[in-house]
Amino acid sequence: MAATDTLPATTGDETVVRLGGAQGGWFRQVGWRHLVGLLALAFSLFPILFVVSAAVNPLGTLSSSELVPTGASFENFRKLFVDTAFPTWFLNSMVIGLLAAALSMFVSACAAFAFSRYRFRGRRAGLLGILLVQMFPQFLLIVALYIMFAYVSDLWPAVGFNTRTGLLLLYLGGALGTNTWLMKGFFDTIPKDLDESAKVDGATHAQVFFGLILPLVTPILAVTGLLGFISAVNEFLIASVFLTDDDAKTAAVGLYGLVSEERNNNFGVFAAGALVLAVPTVALFQFLQRYIVGGLTAGAVKG
């Protein structure tokens, strides 16, 4: 007992009291923030954990999938790549996603440049018109598009049903509506004196756009490109109506087909597919993260 008398600081009781006291203050300062943060993390991550667990679950059924992995097997991934057309679906999704993102970014950057830098007849009407058309989203037009493309498929099979090009062209139809306002808001924040002085130096409008403005608006290009990629990869309704041949499907449509019939048995394979499909988006997201917050809110503040 003598030891405890001489070294009171090390006794169990004292330590608990001290730490407890400190913890109380720490908790009121920042600890509760960590608690909320951890709760938010748990909510965000538990479905993803479940997907990971189901993907490596050797039994591969929904009923045997637990929240925490119970085994580690790559059987589901093997089945995904060998027994289903997933490699083709994945490739379709990537080609459509990347091209749709890049092209729609480009056409809306062009339009935003015109709306931000030039004053012309019909400018205000054009901006409001774009806003109005955006409220009539493409999938609301699914019946009309279906009938249109039935006709297109007869005349030009290369861009008809079950082709990547046809779906890509269709997605580009929505490009102006979604991105132009966001981009114009960002373009407006770049001082006009810059292009004026470049023009005085003899630069053409194309040189101003490609050489001067585009490099300055990289953040908003990154954001619209990322959002365009995410929405094209995730688009389900139009793709499911347009792509019925197994080889033409995107990953979203193909994966839906996996669990729409044999829900319980295919769940592991489906989860593996969801994980593989998430990889490019998550990678892009991490890569572009520093632009995202700034890009999104800059457009929002400017309206």
Residues 243-282 that bind another protein (CB under 8 A): 244-245, 251-252, 255-256, 259, 263-264, 267, 270-271, 273-274, 277-278, 281-282
Binding flag, residue 215, another protein (CB under 8 A): no
For position 147 contacting another protein by CB under 8 A, the verdict is: yes
**Cβ partners under 8 Å of residue 12, min gap 6:** none
| 155 sits near another protein (criterion: CB under 8 A) | yes
Q: Verify binding: residue 22, another protein, rule CB under 8 A.
A: no
Residues 6+ apart with CB under 8 A from 249: 85, 88, 89, 92, 239, 243, 257
Using CB under 8 A as the binding rule, the residues of this chain from 27 to 86 that contact another protein are 30, 32-34, 36-37, 40-41, 43-45, 47-48, 50-51, 61-63, 65-67
Q: Does 1 interact with another protein (rule: CB under 8 A)?
A: no
Count of residues that bind another protein according to CB under 8 A = 108
How does DSSP classify residue 265?
Answer: T
Total residue length of the chain: 303
Q: Is 102 among the residues that bind another protein (CB under 8 A)?
A: no
* Residue 176 binds another protein, judged by CB under 8 A: yes
**CB 75, min distance to another protein, A:** 19
Buried b (16+ CB within 10 A) or exposed e, 200-236: eeeeeeeebbeebbeeebebbbbbbbbbbbebbbebe
Q: Which is nearer to another protein, 81 or 256 (CB)?
A: 256
Select from 33, 29, 27, 74 the least CA-distant residue to 55: 74
Which residue lies nearer to another protein by CB, 1 or 136? 136
Q: Locate tokens 């908003």: which residue? A: 220
- Residue 170 in the binding site for another protein (CB under 8 A): yes
Q: What's the closest the beta carbon of residue 40 comes to another protein, in angstroms?
A: 5
Please give the Cα distance from 274 to 234 (Å, whole number): 11
